[in-house]
């Protein structure tokens, strides 16, 4: 890891690819979950790029018994 890069577990926002690897969820399923979040509590948009709010999404997964 380069000196100027922050580890994934310290980032506030993750790309879909990073979040998929970090949470162990497929990118397609991750996008499905984020699309159902109408209030955008778990994601943010930077132009055309959707980013995952790591801590909030962790809290969401902790509260889930099962992901459909």
The pLDDT tens digits of the residues spanning 23-66 come to 999 999 999 999 999 999 999 999 999 999 999 999 999 988 66
Q: Does domain 8-63 have CATH number 3.90.105.50?
A: yes
Annotate the chain with three-state secondary structure.
CCCCCCCHHHCCEEEHHHHHHHHCCCHHHHHHHHHHCCCCCCEEEECCEEEEEHHHHHHHHHHCCCCC
The pLDDT tens digits of the residues spanning 5-16 come to 888 889 999 999
Residue 6's pLDDT is what?
Answer: 87
Per-domain boundaries in the chain: 8-63
- Beta-bridged to residue 46, according to DSSP, are 49
């Amino acid at each position: 890891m380069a000196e100027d890069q922050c580890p994934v577990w310290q980032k506030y926002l993750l790309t879909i690819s990073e979040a998929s690897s970090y949470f162990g969820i497929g990118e397609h399923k991750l996008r499905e979950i984020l699309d159902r979040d109408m209030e955008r509590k778990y994601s943010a948009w930077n132009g055309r790029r959707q980013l995952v709010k790591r801590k909030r999404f962790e809290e969401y997964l902790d509260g889930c018994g099962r992901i459909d």
